[in-house]
Amino acid sequence: MSELNDYLEGKITFEDFERRREESKAKDKVILHCFYSVCTFGPRSPFSIYKNPSQNSLLYNRDTNRNGAFQADDDNDDDDDEEEGDNDRNEVTPGDVFALEMELNHENKKMMERRHRSKLPRALRGLMGEANIRCARGDKEDAILMCMEIIRQAPVAYEPFSTLAMIYEDQGDMEKALQFGLIAAHLNPSDWEEWVKLADMSLEQDNIKQAIICYTKVIKYDPSNVQYLWERSSLYEQVGEHKQSTNCKILEVVIPDDVPVDIRVKMMVCLIHQHVIKPLDPMLTSDGAEPGGVGRFVFGRGRGFYEEGEYKSALPLLSTLVCSERYNLAVVWLRHAECLKALGHLEVAVKSYSKVVEMAPLHLDACLALSTLQQQLGRPNMALEALEPMYDTETLAQDSSAAQQELKLLLHRSTLLHAQGRTVDYIDTVFTMLSMLLKVAMVRAQVCVISDTSSGVKHLKLISVTLSGCKTSVLSRDDWWKLLLRCLAVLCEVKHFAEAELLADSTLEYYSFYDDRVKRKELEYLSLSAAFLDRNFRKAYDYIRLMLMDNVDRTQLWNVFNQVTLHSQDARHHRFCLRLMLKHPHNHALYLLNGHTSLVSGTFKHALGQYMQAFRNQPDHPLHSLVVGLTFFHMACQRFVMKRHPLIVQGFSFLWHYVDLRGHCQESLYNIGRALHQLGLSHLAIHYYEKALTLPPLKLEGIDDDQVDLRREIAYNLSLIYQSSGNKEMARHVIYTLLYCLTQ
């Protein structure tokens, strides 16, 4: 130790310190071998140990016992002379020497395992030693610089961080000491004593969460130390994390004998939810103070496994119970069926669900599950049999809960019927459900559901009558809405437009839908569509008129309005359009509609004024040029008219502008020919009719080709021209030729 004191006092350099320490080590080795030879072979052969190099190498590694060996040597010097005569009798055998060497080797390996491997390169170890020496001398600034240099070159070595933590701790900067200590501990995490020290430092700085992390590391690397478990638990209590504080592994559950079985079963279920399984096994071996306790324990355990999703563990327990006489109950069969279903054993699950339905026919969930499984197994008829009505009419009228269950069953039944394509049965089921919801609404709309057997089979239908009823609503608004939309779609598919119209009108009287603006608007559109499809144009006109007053600029509504007025044969729309024109004088659709109305009624000048307004607003629209030109032709064809020829010229001017905009197609050439035909210029009309026949019809998206194909009209007009001129053979030839072309 003298060379270390000299170095710390600055009397020698670091190189001299290293040289003296190596010389001291060599001397110690020689003295140790001498001691071993005296202790082992006696004073007669003090250096006989050098005869065995392998033993020699083992003894060289016993530096840690050097001081103890010297002490033993001093104690035995006085006794050597007295025991010299006994050495010949007590010589050590080679087996004893071998056993001693093996023991020394084993202890040496243990020490090497305890020693933490350093990630510090050999080239930096001398600098690390120099930093430690500077720290011991009190030269902290140089030591810090050396440690920082080592960290720069070897950032994963823990030694410089540990030294910096010690330096800052000596300087009283506990925050920096803690930070560097944490870095060193993370780089060398297996040193649990360092984690304990860091936990204490964290607590001194009131950093409880950091202390919890440190104690967690201590427990990880020293799990047998219970003290730190308590320390961490108390810290969790201080920060309010009670669940973490009590987080532990339950090794044994001890229950007094006087606890009732029901409470034991509930406690077992709670423990299963906490994933405590093995300590519960002794509870199944005794039935407590009440008979049947084991069965309750088995069912409770099976239920707990099922609720936790452990179906494989729950199934054997429940299978044991369903085979017994005492616990062969519907609730046990239900859990058994649900486990089988979750594990994919559908065939066996169907049998278990059938047993549940047999024992409890009013159990809705079992009926629904059985029907679903039958549908999955490809048995649609058996799936519908599982959804037969459970209650009669009187029970449904008196018991709201029964009505709610019946509605859920009917909802699933309607879904299956719709999926199987059984439309008529589906409509019957939906009418039954809607009649339960819309009773009050149907009273106001004077609509009811009746049974009809005119087709030989009993079915339900909607009729318009006066009735009274009561309010029933057990499904949510969204469920009713989806059901209503699907029912209306199915009624339109089977062309039951009158019933669809009555259903839509009745639903509009239902306050839950009427108060919702979005649903009310959609119902109005549905009612308009149903009335139009049912050819009830008067009611359709009432709907479209109200819609146009709110949305006068929507082109789709004007198109529907035009279709309704076209089929209604009602003149009410004339006054409606004129009044609306006063409120919206610049509406383009009103220009055209008022112009059409004036044109049909024979007031051509008023029609021309309306059409010209539309033409000025959109001069490039082909329809405007067409209607203006046709109006001039109508004016020119009147009996008493002045300046007939200028009107015809203006009419053709607009028609050719229309042809330029549309292009040379079947439609545009037909209109030119038709105008010439009306003016009596038959030879010119034939020319344009024949040119139109050579052109194919237009292809328009969403419209059939027959609707835009004008060849029939062209051939008919040609036949009229030939017939009026007396050429009946040519008229017949044109019609037959066209019919032959259309049939090819």
pLDDT tops 90 at residue 602: no
SS3 464: strand
Q: What is the CATH number of domain 664-744?
A: 1.25.40.10
pLDDT tops 90 at residue 672: yes
SS3 525: helix
pLDDT at 615 (0 to 100): 92
Of 202-211, 507-516, 637-646, the least confident: 507-516
pLDDT band, very low/low/confident/very high, at 72 (cuts 50, 70, 90): very low
Among residues 230, 169, 164, which one has the least CA distance to residue 205?
Answer: 169
pTM, two decimal places: 0.43
Q: What mean pLDDT, rounded, does the chain reach?
A: 75
| Alpha carbon distance 408, 364 (integer Å) | 8
Of 198-202, 448-452, 488-492, 634-638, the least confident: 448-452
Domain definitions of the chain by residue range = 2-114, 137-245, 259-328, 343-388, 391-534, 664-744
pLDDT band, very low/low/confident/very high, at 2 (cuts 50, 70, 90): low
Indicate if 664-744 has the same CATH topology as 137-245: yes
Mean pLDDT of 494-513: 79
pLDDT tops 90 at residue 396: no
- Cβ atoms of residues 524 and 547 within 8 Å: yes
Of 73-77, 192-196, 275-279, 711-715, the least confident: 73-77
SS3 398: helix
Highest mean pLDDT among 37-51, 471-485, 583-597: 583-597
pLDDT at 261 (0 to 100): 62
Identify the residue with better confidence: 29 or 596: 596
- Cβ atoms of residues 300 and 268 within 8 Å: yes
pLDDT tops 50 at residue 696: yes
pLDDT digits (tens, 9 = 90+) for 273-309: 666 666 566 555 544 434 445 666 677 767 777 777 7
pLDDT at 698 (0 to 100): 83
pLDDT tops 90 at residue 673: yes
Of 39-43, 182-186, 317-321, the least confident: 39-43
Mean pLDDT of 123-150: 86
pLDDT digits (tens, 9 = 90+) for 93-110: 555 555 665 666 655 554
Among residues 342, 371, 366, 337, which one has the least CA distance to residue 352?
Answer: 337
pLDDT band, very low/low/confident/very high, at 47 (cuts 50, 70, 90): very low
| Alpha carbon distance 624, 629 (integer Å) | 9
Of 58-72, 264-278, 496-510, the least confident: 58-72
pLDDT at 653 (0 to 100): 92
| Alpha carbon distance 223, 433 (integer Å) | 65
| Alpha carbon distance 176, 155 (integer Å) | 18
pLDDT at 296 (0 to 100): 66
Identify the residue with better confidence: 15 or 561: 561
pLDDT band, very low/low/confident/very high, at 73 (cuts 50, 70, 90): very low
Backbone angle region of 463, left / alpha / beta, with phi > 0 → left and psi within -120 to 50 → alpha: beta
Q: What is the CATH number of domain 137-245?
A: 1.25.40.10
- Cβ atoms of residues 127 and 146 within 8 Å: yes
Count the neighbouring beta carbons within 10 Å of the beta carbon of residue 224.
5
Mean pLDDT of 691-717: 85
Percentage of the chain beyond pLDDT 70 is 68
